[in-house]
């Protein structure tokens, strides 16, 4: 008998988002998504759910508890992990989302992100190893004609891929990197340096690993502008596509870490006794822009991963709460002979469950709506508002989703009580595996600074104004009999509070540019609260739009009843928080920056 899977999907809510909320079926175009219709999408989602629940989940415990070992520069993965990876590739699922020219099957973004949710939530480690086609796509779209052919081969052969940015002394300050590239004059470069925290930097689940590496050509300028992007294969590739000799890139350390233990996070050393041969991507020095193609995808993926982990954590807690019998109903608490009830009857357990449900579904709405925006960008390339909106939403998806999911997974564990702290249930592993999401691809503070300085201030508020106008329209749209009238009113107040928060930060920014340099500290102190507030306004808007769809269908249908209840609960939960953050921002005096270090 097969063991029960730890992973619990919410395929019903995914399909609600795709077909009822975003209505992907209404905008499918043959030239962008050839051969794709509603039935195709349903089949893909259903089969990915099965793959996640069965094949991916099967090695989730092994990847955590079978230690990885680095021996002679090589890492061998547990057989169960390799079996899970093989199931993904053998099913041809790594071609979904790739362009037709690469032998792929294009799919609308809400569908591919739903796939990512299920696969990452079932076993992120496996998905990291299996996801080399993403990197191949970046090379295909950024590379020379010869590199495009290499990218096709890469995808066809199922080679693995990595993104190689971080250095031991640079950390998040990518522009401080010192790894150098030496032009050999024959179209190749020698890469020399040490990189750290490289996900899937070494393993034996694919016959080759292709590293995309940021390095500074000798003589190039400082900072990120001086960096170029190079393709560095683990094994050199012969003109006929066969593997050549081992290239000079080796794993020289493997990190011992809190979670995702089966994901080989490595120190990679380039050059030494064997030169590390690299190829300049696109044959042009445009590294940071090219690498940001990968970074932006990775940020979105991490936000989706976090949301999916919260969702399965909640569903595990929900199941436990329905089965665990403990205590009498609160109305009979003084009666020692009263029957014991499932803990889902206890008010505080219900509070915890609704908090998890509302945010899990709200974060899914945010992630899949962002995917819809990405599709609008493809459908309407002449209108740059969609690209701007996608840019605005990405730090919310990555920063807010990762922070909220990690915090609420602790709440899911709380439902289990002491049992949740043991390895009898998956919650303790979910929490360990999810913590990295707030750090991956830029910490939450970095996402917040990106949101304010790049996505709001540099954009002169254009994308934010467009989105705010849509939210304001929704607030005003209800009639006298509107069942969501009070929630719309709260949303309108939240929007006003968030805009006041932004306005105060813009005041500080302008003052800093006008000669009062220290005023910029006030922006930094209030940036992360702003990210939280904007995310909560957007999520509340999306959830209320979903409630509007669900209300006529609620009747006796528990799914739609839950959708309406979650939206109402969420808005009431976040409205006072947005107001409090705005009030705090109005009174920010920057005094924290004057405090002596010794006082901390």
Q: Are residues 335 and 480 in the same domain?
A: no
**Over residues 462-472, mean pLDDT:** 97
pLDDT at 481: 83
- Cα torsion 218, 219, 223, 225: sign: negative
Do residue 565 and residue 462 come from a single domain?
yes
Identify whether residues 471 and 595 lie together within a single domain. Answer: yes
| Residues 358 and 232 reside in one and the same domain | no
Tally of domains in the chain: 4
Regarding whether 453 and 419 lie in a shared domain, the answer is no
- 585 within 8 A of 505, measured Cβ to Cβ: yes
Query: At 104, is the pLDDT very low, low, confident or very high (cuts 50, 70, 90)?
Result: very high
Read off the tokens for 585. 């921002």
The pLDDT value recorded for residue 171 is: 72
Distances (CA, A) of 263 to 81, 205, 469: 10, 12, 43
Is the pLDDT at 100 greater than 70? The verdict is yes
Residues 539 and 593 in one domain: yes
- What pLDDT digit, counting tens, does each position of 369-389 carry? 999 999 999 999 999 999 999
**What φ, ψ does residue 216 adopt, rounded to 5°?**
-105, 115
- Considering 423, 442, 461, which residue would you say is the last residue of a domain? 442
Using the predicted structure, report yes or no on whether residue 329 has a pLDDT greater than 90: yes
| CA-closest candidate to residue 426, choices 346, 326, 316, 552 | 316
**If you average pLDDT over residues 173-196, what whole number do you get?**
93
| DSSP annotation of 258 | S
> Are residues 308 and 429 located together in one domain of the fold?
yes
Question: What is d(CA 456, CA 573) in angstroms, rounded to the nearest whole number?
Answer: 26
Q: How far apart are CA 537 and CA 558, in angstroms?
A: 26
Q: Is 271 left (phi over 0), alpha (psi -120 to 50) or beta?
A: left
Predicted pLDDT at 359 = 98
Percentage of residues in the chain having pLDDT higher than 90? 95
Q: Determine, yes or no, domain membership for 460.
A: yes
- 3-class DSSP string for 375-416: HHHHHCCCCCHHHHHHHHHHHHHHHHHHHHHHHHHHHHHHHH
As a whole number, the mean pLDDT across the chain is: 96
User: Could you report the per-residue pLDDT of 310-324, keeping only the tens digit for each?
Assistant: 999 999 999 999 999
* Mean pLDDT, residues 354-376 taken together: 98
Give the tokens for residue 379.
């459908």
pLDDT digits (tens, 9 = 90+) for 257-308: 999 999 999 999 999 899 999 999 999 999 999 999 999 999 999 999 999 9
Residues 550, 526 share a domain: yes
441 is catalytic: yes
Query: What letter would DSSP give residue 5?
Result: P
- pLDDT value of position 84: 98
Same domain, 405 and 459: no
CATH number at residue 318: 1.20.140.10
- Which strand (E) or helix (H) includes residue 191? strand 189-199
- Residue 172, pLDDT > 80, answer no
More confidently predicted of 186 and 2: 186
| CATH at 43 | 1.10.540
Q: Does the residue 225 lie in any domain?
A: yes
pLDDT for 4 equals 77
Residue 585: inside a domain: yes
Joined together, the tokens standing for residue 306 give 């976090």
Check whether residue 277 and residue 265 sit in a common domain. Answer: yes
Summarize pLDDT for 428-441 with one digit per residue, the tens.
999 999 999 999 99
DSSP 105: B
Comparing CA positions, the residue from 405, 523, 531, 446 lying closest to residue 165 is: 446
In a domain, 79, yes or no: yes
Work out the pLDDT band at 3, boundaries 50, 70, 90: low
> Over the stretch 108-150, which tens digit does the pLDDT of each residue have?
999 999 999 999 999 999 999 999 998 999 999 999 999 999 9
What's the rounded Cα separation, in Å, for the pair 486 and 489? 5
Say if pTM beats, i.e. exceeds, 0.85.
yes
Residue 577 falls inside a structural domain: yes
Q: Which of 285, 316, 343 corresponds to the end of one domain?
A: 285
Same domain flag for 394 and 263: no
Q: Range of 278's domain?
A: 144-285
> How many Cβ atoms from other residues are within 10 Å of residue 308's Cβ?
32
Judged on CB neighbours under 10 Å (0-12, 13-18, 19+), 407 is middle
Q: In this model, does residue 24 exceed pLDDT 60?
A: yes
Cα R_g (the chain), whole angstroms:
25
| Within-domain flag for 80 | yes
For the residues 100-115, what does the mean pLDDT come to?
96
Residue in 361, 377, 441, 487 annotated catalytic: 441
Mean pLDDT of the 362-367 span: 98
| CATH at residue 265 | 2.40.110.20
Q: How far is CA 285 from CA 223, 291, 293, 524, in A?
A: 13, 11, 15, 32
Pick the last residue of a domain from 442, 462, 488.
442
Q: Which pLDDT does position 1 carry in this prediction?
A: 37
Is there a single domain that holds both residue 149 and residue 268? yes
Distance CA 105, CA 92 (A): 10
Per DSSP, the residues of 301-327 read: HHHHHHHHHHHHHHHHHHHHHHH-EEE
Give the chain's end-to-end CA distance (angstroms, integer).
57
Q: Which DSSP symbol is given to 96?
A: B
């Amino acid at each position: 008998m097969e063991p029960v899977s730890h992973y619990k999907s919410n395929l019903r809510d995914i399909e609600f988002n795709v077909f009822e909320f975003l209505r992907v079926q209404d905008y499918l175009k043959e030239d962008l998504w050839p051969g794709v219709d509603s039935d195709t999408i349903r089949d893909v989602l259903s089969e990915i759910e099965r793959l996640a629940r069965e094949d991916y989940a099967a090695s989730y415990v092994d990847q955590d508890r079978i230690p990885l070992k680095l021996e002679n520069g090589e890492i061998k993965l547990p057989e169960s992990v390799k079996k899970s990876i093989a199931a993904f590739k053998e099913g041809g699922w790594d071609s979904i989302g790739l362009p037709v020219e690469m032998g792929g099957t294009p799919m609308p973004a809400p569908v591919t992100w739903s796939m990512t949710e299920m696969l990452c939530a079932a076993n992120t480690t496996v998905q990291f190893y299996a996801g080399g086609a993403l990197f191949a796509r970046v090379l295909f779209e950024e590379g020379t004609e010869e590199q495009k052919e290499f990218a096709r081969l890469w995808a066809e052969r199922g080679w693995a891929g990595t993104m190689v940015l971080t250095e031991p002394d640079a950390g998040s300050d990518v522009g401080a990197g010192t790894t150098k590239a030496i032009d050999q004059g024959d179209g190749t470069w020698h890469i020399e340096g040490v990189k750290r925290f490289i996900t899937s930097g070494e393993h034996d689940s694919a016959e080759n690993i292709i590293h995309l590496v940021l390095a500074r050509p000798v003589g190039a300028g400082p900072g990120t502008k001086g960096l170029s992007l190079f393709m560095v294969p683990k094994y050199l590739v012969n003109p006929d596509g066969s593997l050549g000799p081992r290239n000079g890139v080796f794993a020289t350390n493997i990190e011992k870490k809190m979670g995702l233990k089966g994901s080989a996070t490595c120190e990679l050393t380039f050059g030494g006794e064997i030169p590390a041969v690299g190829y300049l991507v696109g044959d042009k020095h445009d590294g940071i822009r090219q690498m940001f193609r990968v970074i932006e995808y990775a940020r979105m993926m991490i936000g989706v991963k976090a949301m999916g982990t919260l969702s399965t954590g909640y569903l595990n807690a929900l199941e436990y709460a329905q089965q665990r019998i403990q205590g009498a109903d609160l109305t009979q608490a003084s009666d020692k002979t009263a029957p014991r009830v499932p803990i889902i009857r206890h008010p505080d357990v219900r509070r915890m469950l609704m908090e998890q449900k509302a945010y899990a579904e709200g974060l899914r709405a945010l992630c899949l709506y962002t995917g819809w925006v990405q599709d609008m960008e493809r459908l309407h390339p002449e209108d740059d508002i969609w690209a701007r909106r996608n840019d605005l939403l990405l730090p919310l998806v990555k920063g807010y989703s990762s922070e909220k999911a990690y915090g609420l997974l602790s709440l899911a564990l709380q439902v289990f009580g002491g049992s949740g702290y043991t390895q009898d249930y998956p919650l303790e592993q979910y929490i360990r595996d999810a913590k990295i999401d707030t750090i991956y691809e830029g910490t939450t503070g970095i996402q917040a600074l990106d949101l304010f300085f790049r996505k709001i201030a540099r954009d002169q508020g254009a994308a934010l104004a467009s989105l705010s106008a849509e939210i304001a329209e929704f607030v005003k749209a209800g009639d006298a009999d509107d069942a969501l009238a009070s929630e719309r009113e709260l949303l309108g107040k939240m929007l006003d509070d968030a805009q006041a928060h932004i306005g105060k930060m813009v005041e500080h920014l302008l003052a800093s540019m006008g000669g009062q340099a220290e005023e910029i500290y006030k922006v930094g102190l209030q940036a992360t609260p702003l990210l939280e507030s904007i995310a909560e306004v957007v999520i509340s808007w999306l959830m209320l739009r979903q409630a509007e769809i669900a209300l006529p269908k609620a009747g006796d249908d528990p799914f739609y009843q839950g959708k309406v209840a979650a939206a109402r609960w969420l808005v009431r939960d976040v409205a006072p928080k947005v107001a409090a953050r705005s009030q705090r921002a109005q009174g920010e005096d920057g005094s924290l920056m004057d405090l002596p270090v010794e006082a901390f």
